[in-house]
């Protein structure tokens, strides 16, 4: 009396898992390339023109650049963002200019000076001891 088992079959589970893996891969690829493949795909399906990669970011950046005056490069500012103090080279509303300290980096260790006893000429006794130990 074998009755048929109810539920999903092995092939159906494999197809569902492959679909989930493809969606996760598309999400990771879109995050890596800083694009949204899902909205681009929906735009293609809807027949709307696909926005160029970074078009919204570049238009937002252009609008922000027009609003903020040009600041010389290499100037650090101390800003508070979300309660955290950060150093940034971008203008912020309550930023204070910070003067950077020029360091020389890591210096090589200095070679110790040789002992004066090693550089002095050997006495006759030292020469005889050295000769005997060879």
Chunk the chain into consecutive blocks of 10 residues (it has 134) and report each block's average pLDDT, rounded to whole numbers.
Answer: 78 96 94 87 85 54 53 76 83 80 80 72 84 88
- The string of DSSP letters for 93-105 reads TT-EEEPPPP---
**pLDDT score, position 103:** 76
**pLDDT score, position 16:** 96
**pLDDT score, position 62:** 54
**pLDDT score, position 24:** 95
Environment class of residue 35 by beta-carbon count within 10 Å: exposed (0-12), middle (13-18) or buried (19+)? middle
Helix (H/G/I), strand (E/B), else coil: 76: strand
């Amino acid at each position: 009396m074998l009755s048929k088992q109810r539920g999903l079959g092995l092939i159906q589970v494999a197809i569902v898992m492959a679909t989930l893996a493809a969606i996760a891969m598309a999400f990771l690829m879109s995050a890596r390339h800083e694009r949204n493949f899902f909205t681009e795909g929906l735009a293609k399906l809807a027949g709307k023109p696909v926005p160029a990669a970074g078009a919204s970011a570049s238009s937002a950046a252009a609008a922000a650049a027009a609003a903020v005056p040009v600041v010389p490069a290499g100037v650090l500012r101390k800003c508070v963002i979300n309660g955290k103090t950060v150093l940034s080279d971008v203008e912020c509303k309550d930023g204070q200019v910070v003067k950077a300290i020029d360091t020389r980096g890591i210096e090589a260790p200095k070679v110790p000076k040789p002992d004066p006893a090693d550089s002095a000429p050997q006495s006759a006794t030292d020469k005889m001891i050295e000769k005997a130990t060879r």
